[in-house]
Amino acid sequence: MTPPPSPPTGPPPSPPRALTIGDLAVSPPVVLAPMAGVTNAPFRRLCRRHGAGLYVAEMITARAYVEGNRKTMRLAGFDADESPRSIQLYGIDAHHVGLAVARLVAEAGVDHIDLNFGCPAPKVTRNGGGAALPVRPPPARRDHPGRGSPRG
């Protein structure tokens, strides 16, 4: 008969280190990255059953949120008991991003906002957002003659 496996030796595993973002404690220190079309409210609810960490809601556009676009408002919906509340924001001008941040915090009780500076999708970068933002920051683009009005 095969002997039972011996118990592991050595020191017990140390507990995970605390993760804080500003004054927000993320415990356990696990973050669900924002995924367009995936990290909606029902998906985040399923994830929360396995322990609260930080679950980032899918990306919304700052200008559409400020203008009350119906689809955007739905994407920015949180369960009543969802805490902490996190969402990714895409914008190309400080005016709309600032307004959206203020309203997400004041009206939707959002605790954490992930600003999109990395999306490589052409439909995002051709408007100057996502991965194009660090390359061509808004003030430089504003000085560029012939540009249309921002859409972010």
Ligand X SMILES: Cc1cc2nc3c(=O)[nH]c(=O)nc-3n(C[C@H](O)[C@H](O)[C@H](O)COP(=O)(O)O)c2cc1C
Which tokens go with 60?
A: 């919304």
How far apart are CB 56 and ligand X at their closest, in Å? 8
Judged by CB, which is closer to ligand X: 26, or 36?
36
Out of 60, 75, 97, 119, the active site residue is 119
Distances, alpha carbon 53 to alpha carbons 65, 85, 142, in Å: 25, 10, 39
Judged by CB, which is closer to ligand X: 33, or 102?
33
The reply on whether position 35 binds ligand X by CB under 6 A is: yes
The reply on whether position 24 binds ligand X by CB under 6 A is: no
The reply on whether position 59 binds ligand X by CB under 6 A is: yes
The reply on whether position 33 binds ligand X by CB under 6 A is: yes
Look up residue 135 and give its amino acid.
V
Which uninterrupted H or E stretch holds 133? helix 132-135
Which tokens go with 137?
A: 């920051």
* Nearest residue to 62 via CA among 131, 146, 124: 124
Binding site for ligand X (CB under 6 A): 33-36, 38, 58-59, 88, 116, 118-119
Catalytic residue positions, numbered: 119
